[in-house]
Amino acid sequence: MKSLLAIDSWPSTHAAAAVVAEDGAILGTHGEADHRFALASVTKLMSSYAFLVALEEGAFELDTPAGPEGSTVKHLLAHSSGYDFAERKVRFAPGERRLYSNVGFDVLAETLEQATQMRFADYLAEAVFQPLGMISTSLDGSPAADGVSTLKDLVAFATELQSPTLLDVQTHSQATHVVFPDLPGILPGYGRQKNNTWGLGFEIRSEKSPHWTGKQNSPATYGHFGQAGTFLWVDPELGAACVTLTDKPFGPWAVDAWTPFNDDVIAELTGG
């Protein structure tokens, strides 16, 4: 896909991108498929998948209390527990606002560790990485932001997101649709959103503007971007996913580059 060549002009030393269909067919790839990139918050997608596997295995339930008083596993997954971004301070009542929180994912991991008596990194590897053959992926710290992976491995994960084999279809559907709707909040890097939509660990594009995906991405698009200069989106209406990895931290360059890049990818896929 010619649209992927744009990553060569980005201000990063290493970059890689791929587009994969829902049946796993690679529609286009460019860059260093086996280079290991820090993922930053794209890590949350993989951690969320492990939490969802744990739900199905009965380690806990969505309404299991976790985090601040009145908060549950569901609140933590949906960034609506009221926790601060980086400190274990409560800023709002659970369900009042969408306050994006790395701390919330740390608490989720602790909740899972208590329930399973396993280190979260080990659980994640056994539940997600190993069955998907993600041999070059690891969690080297926080479940919120310390994943490291390759384009090759994330193509496998993007395929799983589109055609789940590790989760029941109903669980996957709930995770990738809005929970606790109509909550305002700030989308990091893109400002205040009147309706800051989120699923269970997955950001939902909906009608957000501005946004890191393309203007032509459907409202049903879900995924995540990371401060390391990385993103992964799945557009179920398009029937495709895009993984893009760089080693240039997110900043104005990404705000300027990512949306037109994604629109060019979609135009090439649709012949538009």
pLDDT tens readout for residues 194-218: 999 999 999 999 999 999 999 999 9
For each successive 10 residues of the chain (272 residues), what is the average pLDDT? 97 98 96 97 98 97 97 98 97 97 98 97 98 98 98 98 98 98 95 96 96 98 98 98 98 98 97 84
Quote the distance between the C-alpha of residue 142 and its chain's center.
Answer: 14
Return phi, psi of residue 227, to 5°: -65, -10
CB contact at 8 A, 22 and 235: no
- Predicted confidence at residue 272, as pLDDT, reads 78
pTM over 0.75: yes
Of 100, 85, 91, the closest CA to residue 68 belongs to: 91
Query: What is the CATH T-level fold of the domain 2-270, as seen in this structure?
Result: Beta-lactamase (3.40.710)
**Rounded distance between C-alpha atoms, residue 55 and residue 73, angstroms:** 10
Per the structure block, which two tokens stand in for 13? Answer: 């030393």
Question: Can you say whether the dihedral through the CA atoms of 248, 254, 257, 259 is positive or negative?
Answer: positive
- 191 burial level (CB within 10 Å; 0-12, 13-18, 19+): exposed
pLDDT tens readout for residues 123-173: 999 999 999 999 999 999 999 999 999 999 999 999 999 999 999 999 999
Cα–Cα distances in Å, from 231 out to 18, 24, 50, 223, 243? 11, 18, 19, 8, 6
- Predicted confidence at residue 70, as pLDDT, reads 97
Return phi, psi of residue 122, to 5°: -70, -40
Walk across the sheet containing 240-246 and list its strands.
Answer: 26-31, 15-21, 240-246, 230-235, 222-226, 203-204
DSSP string, 227-264: TTTEEEEEETTTTEEEEEEESSPSSHHHHHHHHHHHHH
CB contact at 8 A, 73 and 62: yes
59: which residues sit within 8 A by CB, 6+ positions away? Answer: 112, 115, 116
Cα–Cα distances in Å, from 29 out to 4, 5, 96, 215? 7, 9, 41, 22
DSSP string, 114-172: HHHSS-HHHHHIIIIITTTT-TT-EE-S-TTTBEEE-HHHHHHHHHHHHS-SSS-HHHH
**Rounded distance between C-alpha atoms, residue 86 and residue 90, angstroms:** 11
Per the structure block, which two tokens stand in for 243? Answer: 């993984």
